[in-house]
Amino acid sequence: MENLWFLRRESFFADLPELEALFTARARRLEVRKGDIIFFEGEAGDCCYYLQSGLVQIFGTTDSGKEAVFFLRTAGEVFGLSEVLAASARTANAQALSPCVIHALAHEPFEELLASNYQLARRVITILGRRLRYMGSCLRSQSGDVQHRLCRLLIALAYDTLENAEDWSCPCALPHPLSQERMAAMIGSTQPSVSAALRLLRDEGLVSLHGRKIRLEDPLRLLLRLETPVRDDLA
């Protein structure tokens, strides 16, 4: 599945424990409660955040007040990168979806770390490239029906558990439980449409549903499902 390389998540400091220690030593350690807002759109992007544990959503709000989820950040990831590098205002909001431990590093010490550590600078470039490719993939997928967009989301969320070719033929559970409302916000749809699409995928034997927990019964078939014609009744 090399063509999906940009979905791979890994710890920002994977294989760089010394740099992780330098980062956390200079950063402020924050313990954030579930539901707390970490930053708002429009605020100064004066620091970046290393998520030691927990789950964070990056989201925006439409003029009508509808929430649109752009990313989910999991333990080991860094967020707020583009704004701190450009010294620009936040372009989205960040909210804790679970209790989190976060390390916030201000612009100046982060720039100093980048200037003195080539490996860290290269890691930042790689991460930003992946995220840009992911956003491009999301934009292209918006022309599909709800079921196609949902299949793409489920594959993206499960991708890190599908490390080997054999894994694609075995059931796997999504690492985090998600409500249908949140999935709808992530694919630009509504809860009833997501519910209907999930039922169809369940009836095809592609997923099983246990409350907010979802298991992909055959990830490869689900991936291939993206190649089927668009369903007008689920647009």
Location of each CATH 2.60.120.10 domain in the chain:
2-139
Instruction: Kindly give, in sequence order, each residue whose CB lies less than 8 Å from that of residue 190, ignoring residues fewer than 6 positions away.
Output: 184
Question: For residues 194 and 187, what is the distance between their CA atoms, to the nearest angstrom?
Answer: 9
Arithmetic mean of pLDDT over the chain: 84
Higher pLDDT, 156 or 204: 204
Longest Cα–Cα distance in the chain: 55
**Mean pLDDT value across residues 110-127:** 88
Which pLDDT score is estimated for 9? 61
Which range, of 73-82, 136-145, 151-160, 174-183, averages the lowest pLDDT? Answer: 136-145
Q: At what angle do helices 191-203 and 146-158 cross, to 10 degrees?
A: 70
The CATH architecture one would assign to domain 2-139 is Sandwich (2.60)
**Mean pLDDT value across residues 205-222:** 90
State residue 219 phi and psi, 5-degree precision: -55, -35
**Does the structure show a pLDDT above 80 at 138?**
no
pLDDT band for position 15 (cuts 50, 70, 90): confident
Could you give the C-alpha distances from 116 to 113, 119, 128, 152, in angstroms and in order?
A: 5, 9, 19, 39
142-234 domain in CATH 3.40.50.300?
Answer: no
Location of each CATH 1.10.10.10 domain in the chain:
142-234
- By percentage, how much of the chain surpasses pLDDT 90? 43
Q: Which amino acid is at 156?
A: A
Which pLDDT score is estimated for 103? 98
pLDDT band for position 3 (cuts 50, 70, 90): very low
